[in-house]
Structure 1
Amino acid sequence: MARNILLIEPNYKNKFPPIALMKLSTYHKQLGDNVVFYKGDFKDFILERISDKCVVKLQEIVPTHDWRLKKHFIYDFIKTRKKEYLEALALNSFDDELLLINWVVYYKDYFWKKMYLLDPEWDRIFITTLFTFYFDITVKCINDFKRLVKPNGLIMVGGVLATLQPDEIEDATGIKPHKGLLNRPGMLDDNDMVIDNLPLDYTILEEIDYKYEMSNAYYGSLTKGCIRKCPFCAVPKLEPVYEEFISIKDRIERVRKTCGEQRDLLLMDNNVMASKRFDDIIEDIIDSGFGAGATYTEPNMLEIAIKNLNEGTNDRGYIKKARTLLLDYYKSIKDKELSYKIYSALEENHLMRIETTTKQGIFNAYEVVKPYYDKKVKLRRPKRRSVDFNQGVDARLFTPHMAKQFARIAINPLRIAFDNMAIKDTYVAAIKMCQQEGLRKFSNYILYNFNDEPIDLYRRLKINVELCEELDIDIYSFPMKYHPLFDEHSHDRNFIGKKWNMKYIRSVQAVLNVTKGCIGRGLSFFYRAFGRTEKEYFDILLMPDAMILYRFFFEWLESKGHKLSKYRWERIINNLSETEKAYFIEYINSEDDGTPQQTFIEELKPFYVNLRDQIVNPNGSLYELKQEFDSLSKKEKEDILERYR
């Protein structure tokens, strides 16, 4: 007998889809089970399920009426209990009016009295977890959804947080988590399937409204684990055994047949270069269609969605997908006559609202849209593909042969970790090896706030900018603040390393806010963001946050003789002795509101109030000046600023 399986990702932000849940979906569908994937608010999930049950019941009573067309009124009545939505159903036009009303009211009570908890429908619920700082969101999700499993059913919590902090999860939820991977036969049922080796079910991603940032890609890994034991990394606990090679070619082909061609290949390997079968990995990537120079032409996704609906492949997901594609196409039409024709087809088949959209309505509208949509698809042009080892590769393992192998695939960018200054020479050598093989696009992760000195961040960023100039390449650096995996602050983002302080952390984040999180090529840009010298770098770290965010504006204030100009702040700071500066740093990082009487602190205090609020708030003291500054042309700003630099 088919079981009901619910896959849940907590409602946190995430770039990548939940790979483990996608494998579990494949597993249970191969066993003939019914699978539902959800990411979102618990209350919305319950309302949606109960509204669907109500529609089914009303359809049984009056089968000649399509009750899905009024599902939104049912949903709103159950949610709000407002009489206007019940009246909008026009139940008085049916002979069975009283019976219909009784059932609609029953499902309203079913929701508000939480009667659904007495009759759970799920045989198994799987909940994935991610970062430790999502602890509160994750625990709430588990405690909400655990109530929906049948008395003898299974609820399994797994993933990163569950593996790293199983005791904390169990204490907060009463659920003993699964630690690690599902990488052995028989871990869920008496069969020989290894869940971790199964292909991903991409179709479940169409069931939810949430759109992952890294989309239109094949996801996977060709290795597991890592040979390193870096103290800041979770991989040794998540994937303790290193696996040399797991072919991805067949998994890609299966996705291609069901979901259509994806543009890119996003690999989650934690240390692919440690594999003794590295050459086999490169060949597997090339055989999968991702050799250097490979291109991709977007397939007819509407045709694929219709095919999957015809075959009954995840109706819940592909009804949503097909409707979205049809509406997006309608919105893109510029010809008024054609626009009206397509709109009429969508409206007549009730596709303008998701609640009223049906499978048959999709088919009917598709017949009208198909010839025009197909014509548009034929105009699509090929685009470059890319391979992305998203977790980064290990600079310490580079050889000229490996650099040559990377150049054989559509790598863009090549991410190389630059975690500390101790690997500087190795890192620079790796970049140069790759550049000699024709690779020009790089990205790296710059860990800070761990055991490093604040100056190390500046030095590593500067090395990358200088390499760009020297080798005529592009390196995009992404500083990543260290976050502890255990103990205090593992559930929040407030950890401050022993050699850092809160002001320096805030300042780095303010600079990155301006640079959109990364530092690219261009010495002048880097100097402006982080300083020309190490002294200027520390001055910027000490600078008020608002002054970092609105640097030009605070420079312009000098032309107004304003007491809060950047140059006045610099004059005060530069007159401080090292002892006074250290004292001031301690003062602004202190939680003590006491006011020392030192003159220099009194002079600097006005710069460290909430100046951003004074700028963006219409009643703020700097608001009108900021409006005046913004109204100037670029040339006017440059002319004025040049006088004071």
Structure 2
Amino acid sequence: MNRNILLVEPGFKTKFPPMGLMKISSYHKLLNDNVTFVKGISSSIAYQNFWDRIYISSVFTYNWKSTVDSINYYKTVVKGDSERIFVGGILATLMPKELWEETGIVPITGLLDSPGSLRENNNIIVDKLLPDYELFNDFDNNYSLLDDSYFGYSTRGCVRDCSFCAVTTLEPEFEDYTGIKPYINGIIEKYGEKQNLVLFDNNIVASEKFEKVIDDIVDLGFHKESKFMRRHRKVDFNQGTDARLMNDTNMELLSKIAINPLRIAFDYLKMEKAYSNAIRLAAKYKIKYLSNYILYNFKDTPVDLWKRLKINIDLNKELGLKIYSFPMKYIPLNAKDRTYIGEPKWNWYYIRGIQRITNVLKGAVMPDESFFIRAFGESTEEFYTILHMPEEIIMNRGKTAGSDEIDWLNKFNLLSKNEKNELLSILCTHKNSTQIQQAVITTKSRRMKNILEYYMLENHKNQLHLELHN
């Protein structure tokens, strides 16, 4: 008898489709089951069938609330029958005990890389199956890369054990070659050819079979300058590459494929020598499209972040490159939200400032020097000044300073070091306009009153002026 299977991705935003659910869909279709996908909580779908099994995926731990809400909702759909609810993924693997305590569901941890991973008696290895690209046919999906990209792994795991990274828990064994060709050819045969190749390898350059991986990618039609339907193809090792393992041999191999972009991690300032060497090698082998992840809010300081961004600007000038940087805020592996602050080196207002700057830049730090200087300052001192700016000024800055920005700068520069520290303390503890209005009323410093008004909404400013004149 065919079973009814519901696959649920909680309602958080993501541009990548849920690979685990796509493979679970293939598994159940192989068993002739009926499979339905839903995003988040949907009463219209939840009660349209009797569901023999409901699978709920999880990704980042900071999506805790939406994940737990989804699990508890679908538990009610099956009338509390926990044998019909299956939860897996990143969050489930990192925090299984906490998830069980919150939901009463014992999650499936780790990869589905052995028979019986889904608690059924057969020899099917789910992780080896092709992802079901037809899973979302009846769903208005927002997975921007789904239609034109293959998704997969040419290796698994990582040789590093970085304290900020979850890979050693998620994929504890390093597998230096998975054999991507049969996998991609299987997708082509079943779902048709696609333009781009997105690989989620965590440390591809560490593979002793790296050359074989590159040969496979070339054989699949992703050689340098290759095209699909007149458009250039792209290969993206999306999780980034390890600068410390880059050498002439590895970079020359990468230059043979349609790598776009080459992502190179720059996690901390001590990596500068290895990172700069990797960028120079990329330039040497004519790899034009580069980007990197810049981790911050970990053990670094705002100065460290600025210096790493500036190194990219300097390398762009020297080598004629266009490196796009993506500052990435560190969040602990067991955090249930995004609020973590790496004190004392970071504080709430500095983090808020970085987020406002990158929001204006749509997440990426552009390679143009003048653009960088305007956004982040010409020096670390200017950068600290920018981090103190009111959000409204940061978000509305043009190529040149406007009158509000100039006036704020004049007032800020009049403050003593102690007054600047006091201002920062107020901004970190008074997180909205109403609270700042109270700080203006209670502070005795005229200079502090004058500058704090810039952090208030217009109606609060008007209300304050009325109170002060009555």
Given that residues 82 and 105 in structure 2 are in contact (C-alpha distance below 8 angstroms), is that contact kept between their aligned partners in structure 1? Answer: no
Residue 152 to residue 518, structure 1, CA distance change in 2 (3 Å):
closer
Residue 580 to residue 208, structure 1, CA distance change in 2 (3 Å):
same
Residue 181 to residue 521, structure 1, CA distance change in 2 (3 Å):
same
Deviation by residue 1:585-618 (Cα, 9 ceiling, x = unmatched): 122212485522123211211111136x899xxx
Given that residues 2 and 34 in structure 1 are in contact (C-alpha distance below 8 angstroms), is that contact kept between their aligned partners in structure 2? Answer: yes
Deviation by residue 1:385-444 (Cα, 9 ceiling, x = unmatched): 000001101111111100000001110000000011010010000011111011011010
Q: Secondary structure at the match of 1:7?
A: strand
Residue 420 to residue 250, structure 1, CA distance change in 2 (3 Å):
same
Query: TM-score by structure 1 length?
Result: 0.67
Q: Residues of 2 paired with 1:458 and 1:549: CA distance?
A: 19
Q: Secondary structure at the match of 2:366?
A: coil
Given that residues 164 and 237 in structure 1 are in contact (C-alpha distance below 8 angstroms), is that contact kept between their aligned partners in structure 2? Answer: yes
Q: Residue in 1 aligned with 2:115?
A: 185
Equivalences for 1:494-573 in 2 at 5 Å?
494-498=339-343, 499-552=345-398, 555-557=401-403, 565-573=404-412
Q: Residues of 1 paired with 2:136 and 2:259: CA distance?
A: 26
2:421 to 582, 588, 593: 582
Given that residues 68 and 102 in structure 2 are in contact (C-alpha distance below 8 angstroms), is that contact kept between their aligned partners in structure 1? Answer: yes
Q: Residue in 2 aligned with 1:321?
A: none
Q: Residue in 2 aligned with 1:241?
A: 173
Q: Residue in 2 aligned with 1:206?
A: 137
Q: Cα offset for 1:548?
A: 0.8
Given that residues 42 and 145 in structure 1 are in contact (C-alpha distance below 8 angstroms), is that contact kept between their aligned partners in structure 2? Answer: no
Q: Residue in 2 aligned with 1:358?
A: none
Q: Secondary structure at the match of 2:137?
A: helix
Q: Residue in 2 aligned with 1:163?
A: 93
Given that residues 225 and 235 in structure 1 are in contact (C-alpha distance below 8 angstroms), is that contact kept between their aligned partners in structure 2? Answer: yes
Q: Residues of 2 paired with 1:503 and 1:44: CA distance?
A: 42
Q: Secondary structure at the match of 1:586?
A: helix
Given that residues 122 and 153 in structure 1 are in contact (C-alpha distance below 8 angstroms), is that contact kept between their aligned partners in structure 2? Answer: no
Q: Residues of 1 paired with 2:463 and 2:141: CA distance?
A: 37
Q: Secondary structure at the match of 2:327?
A: strand
Are 2:28 and 1:32 aligned? no
Q: Residues of 1 paired with 2:262 and 2:322: CA distance?
A: 11
Q: Cα offset for 1:620?
A: 11
Q: Cα offset for 1:2?
A: 2.4
Greater alpha carbon shift after TM alignment, 418-427 vs 139-148: 139-148
Given that residues 75 and 82 in structure 2 are in contact (C-alpha distance below 8 angstroms), is that contact kept between their aligned partners in structure 1? Answer: no
Residue 578 to residue 199, structure 1, CA distance change in 2 (3 Å):
same
Q: Cα offset for 1:214?
A: 2.4
Q: Residues of 1 paired with 2:310 and 2:101: CA distance?
A: 46
1:221 to 145, 149, 153: 153
Q: Residue in 2 aligned with 1:418?
A: 266
Q: Secondary structure at the match of 1:445?
A: strand
Q: Residues of 2 paired with 1:452 and 1:46: CA distance?
A: 46
Q: Residue in 2 aligned with 1:44?
A: 44
Q: Residues of 1 paired with 2:397 and 2:233: CA distance?
A: 38
Q: Secondary structure at the match of 1:466?
A: helix
2:453 to 602, 606, 610: 606
1:275 to 202, 207, 214: 207
Letter in structure 2 aligned against 1:608: Y
Deviation by residue 1:338-359 (Cα, 9 ceiling, x = unmatched): xxxxxxxxxxxxxxxxxxxxxx
Residue 132 to residue 439, structure 1, CA distance change in 2 (3 Å):
same
Deviation by residue 1:487-516 (Cα, 9 ceiling, x = unmatched): xxx122111111111111111111112111
Letter in structure 2 aligned against 1:293: E
Residue 585 to residue 554, structure 1, CA distance change in 2 (3 Å):
farther
Q: Residue in 2 aligned with 1:232?
A: 164
Q: Residues of 1 paired with 2:366 and 2:82: CA distance?
A: 55
Q: Cα offset for 1:146?
A: 2.6
Q: Residue in 2 aligned with 1:131?
A: 60
Are 2:257 and 1:409 aligned? yes
Given that residues 46 and 74 in structure 2 are in contact (C-alpha distance below 8 angstroms), is that contact kept between their aligned partners in structure 1? Answer: no
Q: Cα offset for 1:153?
A: 5.0
Task: Please identify runs of 4+ aligned residues in structure 1 that moved more than 6 A.
Answer: none
Letter in structure 2 aligned against 1:224: R
Given that residues 65 and 336 in structure 2 are in contact (C-alpha distance below 8 angstroms), is that contact kept between their aligned partners in structure 1? Answer: yes
Given that residues 511 and 529 in structure 1 are in contact (C-alpha distance below 8 angstroms), is that contact kept between their aligned partners in structure 2? Answer: yes
Q: Residues of 2 paired with 1:147 and 1:289: CA distance?
A: 48
Q: Cα offset for 1:152?
A: 8.9
Greater alpha carbon shift after TM alignment, 445-454 vs 545-554: 545-554
Q: Residues of 2 paired with 1:141 and 1:483: CA distance?
A: 22
Q: Which has a greater percent of helix?
A: 1
Deviation by residue 1:71-110 (Cα, 9 ceiling, x = unmatched): xxxxxxxxxxxxxxxxxxxxxxxxxxxxxxxxxxxxxxxx
| Bigger Rg, which one | 1
Letter in structure 2 aligned against 1:132: T
Given that residues 127 and 158 in structure 1 are in contact (C-alpha distance below 8 angstroms), is that contact kept between their aligned partners in structure 2? Answer: yes
Are 2:458 and 1:458 aligned? no
Q: Cα offset for 1:448?
A: 0.6
Q: Secondary structure at the match of 1:418?
A: coil
Q: Residue in 1 aligned with 2:16?
A: 16
Given that residues 200 and 251 in structure 1 are in contact (C-alpha distance below 8 angstroms), is that contact kept between their aligned partners in structure 2? Answer: no
Alignment: residue pair count: 452
Q: Cα offset for 1:461?
A: 0.7
Equivalences for 1:94-173 in 2 at 5 Å?
121-149=50-78, 153-173=83-103
Letter in structure 2 aligned against 1:140: D
Q: Cα offset for 1:578?
A: 2.1
Residue 393 to residue 228, structure 1, CA distance change in 2 (3 Å):
same
1:493 to 338, 343, 350: 338
Q: Secondary structure at the match of 1:157?
A: strand
1:389 to 237, 248, 255: 237
Q: Secondary structure at the match of 2:127?
A: helix
Q: Cα offset for 1:555?
A: 4.2
Letter in structure 2 aligned against 1:434: A
Q: Secondary structure at the match of 1:494?
A: coil
Q: Secondary structure at the match of 1:207?
A: coil
Q: Residues of 2 paired with 1:514 and 1:154: CA distance?
A: 45
Alignment RMSD (CA, Å): 2.2
Query: TM-score by structure 2 length?
Result: 0.91
Q: Residues of 2 paired with 1:212 and 1:227: CA distance?
A: 30
Q: Secondary structure at the match of 1:524?
A: helix
Equivalences for 1:73-88 in 2 at 5 Å?
none
Q: Cα offset for 1:142?
A: 0.9
